[in-house]
Amino acid sequence: MLLGHNIPAGALGYCDASHHGAAHVRADAKHTTCDGPAPCERRPEDGVTRRRVGVLLAGLAALTCQLDQSESTDVPPTVASTGTPGDVTDLAVAAATANSVTLSFTEVDDGAGQPASYDVRYAVAPISWGSAHSVTQGSCATPLRGTSVGARRTCTVLGLAPMTTYQFQLVAFHGTLNQDAVFGGLSNVAPRWRTARAEAAARPARPLS
């Protein structure tokens, strides 16, 4: 019920073709046409056309036009697709002490042209990815954030035991670990390295033949 407004058929406000809001109000074929956003009404008893301001009707007409325009022009948001991160193929041990190992590798992209992050793991040789530990001490700690695609990256694993043979492996990923991470392939396994004796911590270790 529209507050007692007696509007003849064809006399309600309507939107123009481009949906810019209420246009003009037309009476039916027997009535005079009024311009403007307010509905018009003809008084049949005296033949006098009277313009009556219908604030509520005009507001509803404008809202209807806006909603119709919104429904016709809204475009679903585009979700950027992201590919699979690259694979590291040159992981190596650069040096070792009694309690640390320095790793080096070439950084890869995350599948969208940006530097990937890395989950770096280690284990007493031989390494098995599923049971290997993610690095928690040193600059290699997981997650290791990338800096520049194609750059040579070095980082250090701390907290190792002296005179112990370790192996290392990593995987590139983007996203957040244990939530929405997308992984590349596992890297090569770095050759076996034995940490130095405790009293020779400053002496670089040698790879096992």
**Domains, the chain, ranges and CATH?**
13-73 (no CATH), 92-200 (2.60.40.10)
Q: Tell me what pLDDT residue 198 has.
A: 82
| Best CA proximity match to 54, nearest among 6, 19, 16, 9 | 6
Q: Tell me what pLDDT residue 33 has.
A: 47
**CA 154 vs CA 95, 143, 161, 174, 194: distances in Å:** 10, 14, 21, 20, 19
191, exposed or middle or buried, with CB in 10 Å at 0-12, 13-18, 19+? middle
Q: Which residues pair with 194 in a beta bridge?
A: 165
Q: Tell me what pLDDT residue 48 has.
A: 42
Of 22-26, 42-46, 172-176, 189-193, the one with minimum mean pLDDT is: 22-26
Of 82-86, 132-136, 184-188, 204-208, the one with minimum mean pLDDT is: 204-208
Mean pLDDT, range 187-197, rounded to an integer: 93
Q: Is 17's pLDDT higher than 60?
A: no
Q: Tell me what pLDDT residue 85 has.
A: 98
Task: Tell me the Cα Rg of the chain.
Answer: 37
Mean pLDDT, range 179-190, rounded to an integer: 97
Q: Is 103 helix (H, G, I), strand (E, B) or coil?
A: strand
Q: Which of 30-39, 42-51, 132-141, 199-208 has the highest mean pLDDT?
A: 132-141
User: Which pLDDT band holds residue 78 (cuts at 50, 70, 90)?
Assistant: very low
